[in-house]
Each structure stands twice: as C-alpha cells, then as structure tokens.
A and B are shown apart, each in its own frame.
Chain A
C-alpha cells in the first residue's frame, strides 16, 4: 500500500461530515517529561494539535503517560521541555486557575460539604460572576445534565451516575474553552457506561466545547472521539480518526491495542521484502471461485455466535482469527482457504 492510497482512504473516511476548516485550540509541541534526574521519561516528543469543538481522546494502557499529559493541559504538571499553547497563548508556568480549562476528575472530586447547586456555582463564584448570572447558569447546566430536581442534595446522596453528571455540570458551568475528562466513566458499571458515552458525546455536540478525554478503553475511545491519539510508553503511537486508527494501524502495538487484529508477516508473493500487515477478523471471508484464497490453513475451532461464526485457522505456525457472517462451517481439521479484499490488509511499520 502506498501513500497515495492512504490519502485517498482518509479523505473517503471524512466525506460524510462537511465541516469548516478546523481551528487549532490546543497546540502541544515537543513536550517531554523526565523524572529522577532525567533517567525516567514519562513523556517524550509529544506533538498534538487539538481543534476547536473537537472530541479528542488520549487512549492507552495505564502508565503510558496519557494522564500526565492531561494534567499538563490542566496545569497540575509541567513539562520538562516543549510548549503548550492554548488558543495561541503559551500557558507554560500558568497555574490551573489562570487557564480557561476545567477538569472532570476520575473520582469526581465533588465538594462533600456543598450541595449540587453550590458545587456547580463554585467555579463561577471564584471568577466573581454576578449573583444572578451564577444562578441562571446553575439552572441552565442543571437542565443540561437533567438534575434539576437534585439541586439541593449533597453529593453523598447521589448515585454514581448522578455524581458524574454533577462533576460534568460543575466543570462546564464557567464556560471553559476546554473540558478535560480523566477516565470519567471508569467508576460506572457497564450499562451506565454505555449510556454515559452517548450522553457525553451529545453534551459535547450541544455545548460545542472542546473535550479532551483520557481512557484505557478502546471501545469508548472509538465510539466517542472525533480524533484520538494512541499512546504507549510515553509516546504517541498514532494520531487520527477512529476509522483511520482502526482500519490502518501504523504498528504492531496499535493494531493489537485497538480491536482484534491478525498480524501476518512473511515474504509474500508479488512483494519485494518481508512485510507485516494486519487484517481485521471481520474482513476475512472463506475463499470462493470469485474470491481466490490468499492463504490456506487448517481449521482449528469454530465458535457459533448467532449472527457470526468465529473461526481459528492455523497457518504457517500462527493462528488467524476470522469473524464470518453466519456461514456453514467445515469440520475442524480440514483445510480451508481464506480471502480478504485488498483494502483490508494494512502494512505495519514497526
């Protein structure tokens, strides 16, 4: 696959949304964070531009530096080198309260001695907004997160999902330019998490505020983000839209971390050198006369999942997993041919 193909593919992925040219809001360039006298690098060579009205996600396993980066945007941590611009202004050295950026903390960090309404009013009071403006805005954001009836409750009297919404309302109330969300859904149960994913996305579109989310949950990242950065070991591995990252992972880590991927490597017919490429399980089909096999293998197992059948095929010493659309399977142990379209395979650079 060459560069021209990649460009063609990425534009086709964006064709559905006709948006004006994005305006950069946060520009992170050359950011590094070193600990222990420069021995340990928590972050190295981070270059990310986040646009206005964008839902941006920092995705990665724990310890990859995503939270450190988020806390740098908030002003709780400071890079060892590099710069962070917010709306064109260098914010390095500015304390959190001098940045028009608000954070939704992982455990919400609601003030336990204040009511829901007082929690939400806190930021605006610190900014010395007029009283009537504050009460108007409190009512407004309470409606936004559908907690009107709870304005007089204390955080301890609310469920996890409600506390989450109060934290969102509190951070959104002072009209920040950027809302930072540090694993906001990790404390919620599965069902509530799905609901909140939808709600968060809707809230972001309604308010038009730039959201920067940190998560280790790839499904969450793919579902909500306009663009995301996949991070590992203090570096950005890949930056792009969910479609780009899922369809065209640049390396083994990204291919493995995002969804399931078959990594196939070897010297292939018609190619100059050894290559490694990934094929998503759902893109693989059984070979037919019109779709000649690219690979032959021994069927090891087939799991019937209702709509799909999951098969494991042994080929060249490795296992290939495929998700087939309701197909009648051959018996395990028999040889089968597998086919995938050209655009399903994506070459990885290590």
Chain B
C-alpha cells in the first residue's frame, strides 16, 4: 500500500523527466546515427558518419584524413569551462565567506543581490556587456574621457570577454552552494582552531577548506557543466570568432543543417559532463572511505 502511494507520488516527476529529458536525449542519440538531409532534418541510412566527422575529413572518393579543427574547438571549450570554474571558485569563495560573516539581516539582503540577476533574461544581460565593453561603450568612453587612453581598448570579441561573460553568468551557482556549507560550519570549530594556535591561513587550509569541500564540489559541477555547453556568451562576446562547442552545436541545427553532427556533438558534451560527475562522486566516495 505504502509502496503504491510512493510510486503514485513519484509519477509526475518521473513523467516530466522522461518526457522532457529522456525522450529528447534518445532522439538526439538516434539522430546522431542518421544521415543529414540538405534541407534540415535527418534521413536514412544509419551511419557512424557524424562521429567520424569529429576527427576526420572525408573527401569525395571516401578517403579519411585527420582534421584537428573540431578537436581544437572541443579543447578550447574544455579550457574555457575549466578557467570559468577556477575563476568562479576564486571569486565565489571569498564572496560566500564575506556574506557568512555579516549579520543575519544583511546576509538575506546580500543573498538576494546574488540571485537578483536571475530575474533578468541572460540574453539581455549579455547584451548589456556589449554596451559596456564595445569601442564606443561605457568603459572605453570613461577611460577616454579621463584621458587615460587615446584609442579604445579591445575589450570585446576576444577570449577574455567570453571568460568574463561566463564567470559573470555562472558565479551565483558557485557562491550559493559554498555559502550553504559555510553557514552550517560550527563557529566553535573556528574558535577551537584559533585556540590551538592556528593562523588564519592554517585555519582555512586545515579546517574550513576540508569542511566546505562538498559545497565546492557542487559549485564546481554546477559551473563547469553549463559553461562547457554555453553558446550565448561565446557568440555574443566572442563575436563568433572563437568557436566553442556550444556554438558549433547550435550552428549544426541552424545554418549548417547537419542535425546528425549536431546531435553527435551534443552526445559528446553529455558524455563529458556525466564522466565528470562520476569522477567527482567516486573521488568523494574514496575520501569518505578514507575518512
């Protein structure tokens, strides 16, 4: 009886996940093994062509030659996602720590401010960065007004601009889980460490960092996964010059009309993220076993 009720209550959630997560994934998986239709969509026959295309170029006679272009895009994507994660951590931890040190009323205010950007569409927020960073934008305009520079600085359409956009967008996903673990930290442990002759740095290294690891791990996954698949920031702030895997996938479904290749790339990103998650959980299990 209880089992029946449990299953019944789980049904809506499971149904939603199945309908909007599992089925689209299965469609992507299916499409990735089909042939592209020149007008968009997919046709028969089934083939591994899309996956072969990731690393090899096929000429008209069917000879395969190694082509690293897509591999480079993937590596660049991973590199940017990693850089985003590290920068978010470097900024997010002090922010979370600062918020935790405030009075309860101020904490609520600051946490609201951290989540405030979510109320505005990401597209609009990213567009605002263009207004800020472009040659005639606010930043360059101000610097020129001060007479610090003669010509506008190249702030937009390069890798640092993409990185800025990514860190800006995903920083809250790092701050919030770290804050949650910091808040649960017993302040007496901090006192105990100070009492036992720890300096500020040793306190951080030996007590705070190990005890906030779960939050840091959660934040890392929450930032890395969407950063890897992002296309909005690279497209708008990178000016499409710095092709990333997210933009590449988006192109396959729009201008390039190569749905199987787009699907195959999407599967690749999914596999990469799932692998990262598995590694993370295995590492945690090893740590707990050692603990």
A-B contact count (CB 8 A): 60
Q: At the interface, yes or no: A65 with Cβ under 8 Å from chain B?
A: no
The reply to whether A112 and B211 form a contact with Cβ atoms under 8 Å apart is yes
Considering the complex, give the chain B residue whose CB is closest to the CB of A97. Answer: B197
Write out the residue numbers on chain A whose beta carbons fall within 8 Å of the beta carbon of B194: 76, 95-97
Closest CB-CB distance, A299 to chain B, in whole Å? 52
Residues of B close to A76: CB separation below 8 A: 191, 194-195
CA distance A96 to B196 in the complex (A): 8
Question: B211 and A113: CB pair below 8 A?
Answer: yes
Confirm or deny: B206 has a beta carbon within 8 angstroms of a beta carbon on chain A: yes
Q: Could you tell me if B291 and A103 are in contact, using CB atoms closer than 8 angstroms?
A: no
Evaluate contact between B188 and A109: CB separation under 8 angstroms: yes
B170 to chain A, nearest CB (A): 28
CB-contacts of A2-59 with B (<8 A):
none
B202 within 8 A of partner (CB): yes
Partner of B193, one of A74, A122, A127, A171: A122
Residue of B nearest to A105 (CB): B188
Determine whether the beta carbon of A109 is less than 8 Å from that of B186: yes
| B residues 187-231 in Cβ contact with A at 8 Å | 188-189, 191-199, 202, 206-207, 210-211
Is A252 at the interface (CB under 8 A from chain B)? no
Residue of A whose beta carbon sits closest to that of B190: A109
B-facing mask of A83-103, CB < 8 A → 1, else 0? 000000000000111000111
Q: Which of B186, B189, B202, B291 contacts A126 (CB 8 A)?
A: B202
A248 at the interface (CB under 8 A from B): no
Q: CB distance A97 to B199 under 8 Å?
A: yes
Give CA–CA (A97, B198) in the complex, Å.
6
Interface residues of B in 250-267 (CB under 8 A from A): none
Please encode chain A, from 110 to 126, with 1 for each CB lying within 8 Å of some chain B CB and 0 for all others. Answer: 11110000000011001
Find the B residue at minimum CB distance from A121.
B196
Q: How far is the CA of A222 from the CA of B195 in the complex (A)?
A: 28
**Chain B CB within 8 A of A281 CB:** no
The prevalent SS among residues of B at the interface is: helix
Q: A112-B211, A113-B210, A154-B291 are in contact. Are A123 and B197 (CB under 8 A)?
A: yes
Complex-state Cα separation, A130 to B210, whole angstroms: 24
A170 proximal to B (CB < 8 A): yes
On whether A122 and B196 interact (CB within 8 A), knowing A76-B191, A107-B188, A109-B188, the answer reads yes
In the complex, A79 has a CB within 8 A of chain B: no
Q: Are A105 and B191 in contact (CB under 8 A)?
A: yes
Is B191 a contact of A174 with CB atoms below 8 Å?
no
* A103 and B192 contacting across the interface, CB-CB below 8 Å: yes
A240 to B290, CA, bound (A): 51
Interface size class of A (residues with CB under 8 A): 20 to 34
How far is B198's CA from A231's CA once the two chains are assembled, in angstroms? 32
Q: In the complex, what's the smallest C-beta–C-beta distance from A271 to chain B, in angstroms?
A: 53
The residue of chain B having its C-beta at the shortest distance from the C-beta of A76 within the complex is: B191
Question: Are the C-beta atoms of A97 and B195 separated by less than 8 Å?
Answer: yes
CB-CB under 8 A from A97, the residues of chain B are: 194-199
CA distance A105 to B199 in the complex (A): 19
Contacting B198 at CB < 8 Å: which of A74, A102, A109, A126? A126
Q: How far is the CA of A249 from the CA of B64 in the complex (A)?
A: 100
Q: Complex formed: what's the CA distance from A75 to B198 in Å?
A: 14
Contact digits for A61-88, partner B, Cβ 8 Å, 1 yes 0 no: 0000000000000111000000000000
A105 to B186, CA, bound (A): 12
In the complex, chain B residues 157-205 whose Cβ is within 8 Å of any chain A Cβ: 186, 188-189, 191-199, 202
CB pair B196 A102 closer than 8 Å: yes
Q: How far is the CA of A126 from the CA of B291 in the complex (A)?
A: 21
Contacts of B210 in A (CB 8 A): 113
Tell me how far the C-beta of A251 lies from the nearest C-beta in chain B, rounded to whole angstroms.
35
Q: Which of B192, B193, B197 contacts A174 (CB 8 A)?
A: B197
Interface pair B197/A126, CB less than 8 Å apart = yes
A255–B58 alpha-carbon span in the complex (Å): 99
B207 to A96, Cβ gap below 8 A? Answer: no
Residues of A within 8 Å of B211, CB to CB, are 112-113
Residues on A with beta carbons closer than 8 Å to the beta carbon of B191 = 76, 96, 103, 105, 109
Chain B residues near A101 (CB, 8 Å)?
A: 195
B187 nearest CB neighbor, chain A only: A109
Query: How distant is the Cα of A170 from the Cα of B156 in the complex, in angstroms?
Result: 56
Q: How far is the CB of A156 from chain B (nearest CB, A)?
A: 10
Per-residue contact bits, chain A 154-173, to B (CB 8 Å; 1 contact, 0 not): 10000000000000001100
- Minimum CB–CB distance for A122 against chain B, Å: 5
Contact A111 B207 (CB under 8 A): yes
Which residues from B are CB-within-8-Å of A154? 291
Given contacts A112-B211, A113-B210, A113-B211, contact A174 B196 (CB under 8 A): yes
User: Is there an interface contact between B291 and A113, defined as CB atoms closer than 8 Å?
Assistant: yes
Complex: A112 Cα to B214 Cα, angstroms: 14
In angstroms, Cα B154 to Cα A281, docked, is 91
* Residues of chain A lying within 8 A (CB to CB) of residue B189: 109, 111-112
Q: Give the distance to chain B from A120, nearest Cβ to Cβ, in Å.
A: 10
Task: Please name the 7 residue pairs, one residue from A and one from B, whose CB atoms are nearest each other, closest first.
Answer: A123-B196, A109-B188, A126-B197, A109-B192, A97-B197, A96-B194, A113-B210
A-B contact pairs, 24 of them (CB 8 A): A74-B195, A96-B195, A97-B194, A97-B195, A97-B199, A103-B192, A105-B191, A105-B192, A109-B186, A109-B188, A109-B189, A109-B191, A109-B192, A110-B192, A111-B189, A111-B207, A112-B211, A113-B210, A113-B291, A122-B196, A126-B196, A126-B198, A126-B199, A174-B196
Extra 19 A-B pairs, beta carbons < 8 Å, given A97-B195, A103-B192, A111-B192 = A74-B195, A76-B195, A96-B194, A101-B195, A102-B196, A103-B195, A105-B188, A105-B192, A107-B188, A109-B188, A109-B191, A109-B192, A111-B189, A112-B189, A122-B193, A123-B197, A126-B197, A126-B202, A154-B291
